[in-house]
């Protein structure tokens, strides 16, 4: 086990370069998390050996690129941890994101058939449930709105500033309009004639 602070000197590089190498190994799928003991960090012998191998590789090739990545086996398929694999439907093989063919060997060659019809039934059932729930939600909102509207019309306990005064003024205007409509024909005719006479007197001769 080696202390982390001593490793840059081991490879005669700076701390920044050391952490670049460590992060590159993590990207390749290796476990390079140090062991913390108090304020100090340590790397295991296996991790140090891996750093030694990377240092040797860099001296030989003058680059980090190409250092072997961790190989992960998934369902009998071997895939490198740093590879982005996509399905190439044209020829049925898996390829790199850089379009480099990857040969994959499987010990089990079985045709997998997926029945999608149950999924469609489930989706239709979910859609129906969502539709019903939306209708119930809308109905509840409408009922609550109508109830509150009726309650405010009955009790008039408005909490919005100025709203009660506006309602009061509108009621007064309506009462005055109804009062003028309820006057006797004689009174209404007399008021109309007085207005006409006033206009005639004001008009220039």
For the stretch 104-136, pLDDT in tens is 444 444 455 555 555 555 566 666 777 778 888
Looking at residue 134, its pLDDT comes to: 82
Nearest Cα residue to 25 out of 50, 57, 60: 50
C-alpha distances in angstroms, 25 versus 48, 54, 124, 179? 12, 9, 47, 92
Q: pTM of the predicted model, to two decimals?
A: 0.39
DSSP class of residue 193?
H
Q: Report the distance separating Cα 187 and Cα 196, nearest Å.
A: 14
The angle subtended at Cα 21 by Cα 15 and Cα 24, nearest 5°, is 140
Listed as ranges, residues in the chain with pLDDT below 70 are 72-127, 177-185, 203-205
pLDDT tens track for 64-78 = 898 988 876 555 555
Looking at residue 88, its pLDDT comes to: 43
Looking at residue 85, its pLDDT comes to: 44
C-alpha distances in angstroms, 136 versus 48, 51, 106, 144, 148? 64, 64, 53, 12, 18
Looking at residue 100, its pLDDT comes to: 46
The structural domains of the chain, with segments of one domain joined by +, span 1-68, 70-108, 122-154, 156-205
DSSP string, 115-168: --HHHHHHHHHHHHHHHHHHHHHHHHHHHHHHHHHHHHHHH----STTHHHHHH
Neighbours of 10 (CB within 10 A): 13
Looking at residue 155, its pLDDT comes to: 84
């Amino acid at each position: 086990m080696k202390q982390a602070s001593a490793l840059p000197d081991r490879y005669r590089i700076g701390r920044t370069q050391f952490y670049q190498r460590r992060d590159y190994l993590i990207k390749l799928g290796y476990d390079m998390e140090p062991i913390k003991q108090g304020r100090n960090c340590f790397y295991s012998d296996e991790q140090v050996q891996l750093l030694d191998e990377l240092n040797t590789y860099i001296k030989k090739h003058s680059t980090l690129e190409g250092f072997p990545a961790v190989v992960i086996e998934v369902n009998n398929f071997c895939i490198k941890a740093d590879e982005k694999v996509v399905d190439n439907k044209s020829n049925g093989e898996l390829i790199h994101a850089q379009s480099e063919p990857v040969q994959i060997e499987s010990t089990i060659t079985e045709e997998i058939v997926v029945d999608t019809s149950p999924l469609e039934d489930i989706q239709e059932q979910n859609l129906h449930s969502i539709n019903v729930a939306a209708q119930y939600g809308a109905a509840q909102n409408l009922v609550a709105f109508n109830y509150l509207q009726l309650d405010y019309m009955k009790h008039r306990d408005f909490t919005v500033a100025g709203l009660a005064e506006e309602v009061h003024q509108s009621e007064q205007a309506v009462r005055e309009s109804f009062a003028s409509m309820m006057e006797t024909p004689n009174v209404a005719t007399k008021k109309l004639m007085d207005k006409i006479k006033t206009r005639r007197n004001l008009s220039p001769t």
